[in-house]
Amino acid sequence: MKRTSTRLSDGRELFYFDHDDGAVRELTDPRQLPQVSTASRMRHDPLLDEWVVMASHRQSRTYLPPADLCPLCPSGDGKETEIPSSDYDVAVFENRFPSLSMGAASDETGTPLVSVQAAAGRCEVVCFSSDHAASFASFPPEQARLVLEAWADRTAELSALPGVEQVFCFENRGEEIGVTLSHPHGQIYAYPFVTPRTRRMLDVARRYSSEHGGNLFADILAEERAGERVVVTSRHWTAFVPAAARWPVEVHLYPHRQVPDIPSLTDDERDDFVAIYLDVLSRFDLLYASPLPYISAWHQAPVNTDRDVAYLHLQLFSIRRAADKLKYLAGSESAMGAFITDVLPEDVAEQLRRVR
C-alpha cells in the first residue's frame, strides 16, 4: 500500500491510499475555495449528561447532486472535485462541512447549568472507490482490504490528535438513511468526548466484569456462537443477529480475539474480516429485490479510557422492515429510547443464512 498526502486549496488535508506503490496522483487543487467554517460548538445537556454539537453551517452542504457534478468523483474533463487526481483507489480528506473542527472556536459563555465549548475535533470523508456506481458489497477483496487499511491508518493518526477522545468510522448507504452523496463513501469522526452509546456500553461492561469476572463482549460472543442467530462464521470472526436487536435487520461482527480498535487487528484478522464482511453485505443486498439501506458502524475503544474492557466490533443495520416498508422511530423509540421491534432476531438470522 502507498499513502500520499497533500492539502486542498483551503488547507484541508487529503490522503490517497493506493494498491500500487508506483501510483502517481495529482497533488495540486486548482480551485479557489473559501476557508472552512470553524463555528461549531457543543452544549452540554444537564439532564442526560451528554454533549450536543451545534453545526448550523452544515445546512448549506451539498445535497444529492447529479452524477456528473459529484464532488467525490475524480477530477477531469473540465470538472474540478474534492479529489484533484484523475483517478484514485481510496481517498480520504477533511470534510468541507465539518461537524467538528480542530480550529473550532466559540464566544458563547454558557450558563451554570449548560456548559458550552468549541466543538474541537475532526471529520473526514473516506471515498471507497473512484467508481461512482460501485458499492462496498461489489468490491473485490483487495479493494475492501485497502479501505480497511485506510480506516486503521486514520484511526491511529486521529487518536493522536490533542483533545480527541474517540474515533468513529462509519458508512451510511441509501437515501432512506439520509445520505446526501450517492458516491460510495463513508466518514470518520474524531470526537472530543466519549459518545453516549460507547460510554453506556463500557459502563455496563465494567460493572459486569466487577460482578461476574470476564469480559461482557466476549461472553456475548461465546453465547451467540453457540446459538441459532449466527449468520456466518470464519476462523477469526463471527457475524450474528443480536438477541435484543433493535433494528429490523441488524448484524454484529465480532473478532474472536479481544482487541480495542482496528489498528490492533493482525493481517490474518484483517483478511478474514474482509471475507466475512463482503459475505454479509451481499446477503443484505439479496434479502429483497433492491439493496438494503444501511448504517455500518465501527465500535472502537475510546482513546484514553476503558481500553481494557472495550471490544472492537462492527454493527451493521437497516431501517427496512419489509420489501416495501421502512421502520420509522415513533413515540416509544424517539421520545423514550425504548425500542419495539416488528421482527424476531432468529427469523432475520434464518433469512440472511438462506439468501446465498
Q: Is-contact 132 161, C-beta < 8 A? A: no
| CA-based nearest residue to 251, from 292, 296, 218, 308 | 296
Cell 461492561 found at: 205
pLDDT for res 241:
98
Cell 502517481 found at: 24
CA angle 202, 204, 208 (to 5 degrees): 115
- CATH classification code of 197-354: 3.30.428.10
Is 123 annotated to bind ligand? Answer: no
Per-residue pLDDT of the chain (356 residues; tens, 9 = 90+): 999 999 999 999 999 999 999 999 999 999 999 998 888 999 999 999 999 999 888 887 888 899 899 999 999 988 999 999 999 999 999 999 999 999 988 888 899 999 999 999 999 999 999 999 999 999 999 999 999 999 999 999 999 999 999 999 999 999 999 898 999 999 999 999 999 999 999 999 999 999 999 999 999 999 999 999 999 999 999 999 999 999 999 999 999 999 999 999 999 999 999 999 999 999 999 999 999 999 999 999 999 999 999 999 999 999 999 999 999 999 999 999 999 999 999 999 999 999 97
pLDDT for res 143:
98
CATH of 2-193, one of 3.40.50.150, 3.40.50.720, 3.30.70.1050, 3.30.428.10: 3.30.428.10
Produce one character per residue of 7-18: b if its CB has 16 or more CB atoms within 10 Å, e if not.
ebeeebebbbbb
pLDDT for res 27:
97
Is 44 annotated to bind ligand? Answer: no
Q: Is-contact 63 178, C-beta < 8 A? A: no
Alpha carbons 317 and 296: distance in angstroms, whole number: 7
User: CA 86: distance to chain centroid?
Assistant: 26
Is 57 annotated to bind ligand? Answer: no
Is 127 annotated to bind ligand? Answer: no
Question: What CA–CA distances, in Å, run from 169 to 25, 123, 149?
Answer: 25, 10, 12
Alpha carbons 26 and 9: distance in angstroms, whole number: 13
Pairing of strands 185-191, 166-173: antiparallel
Largest Cα separation within the chain, whole Å, is: 64
DSSP one-letter code for 137: G
Q: Is 57 in the active site?
A: no
Helix, strand, coil shares of the chain, percent, nearest 5, are 30, 25, 50
Cell 456475548 found at: 220
Produce one character per residue of 35-61: b if its CB has 16 or more CB atoms within 10 Å, e if not.
ebbbbbbbbbeeeeeebebbbeebeee
Q: Residue 69 CB: number of other CB atoms within 10 A?
A: 10
**Within this chain, domains 2-193 and 197-354 share the same CATH topology:** yes
DSSP one-letter code for 136: G
Domain ranges of the chain: 2-193, 197-354
Annotated active-site residue in 19, 44, 185, 256: 185
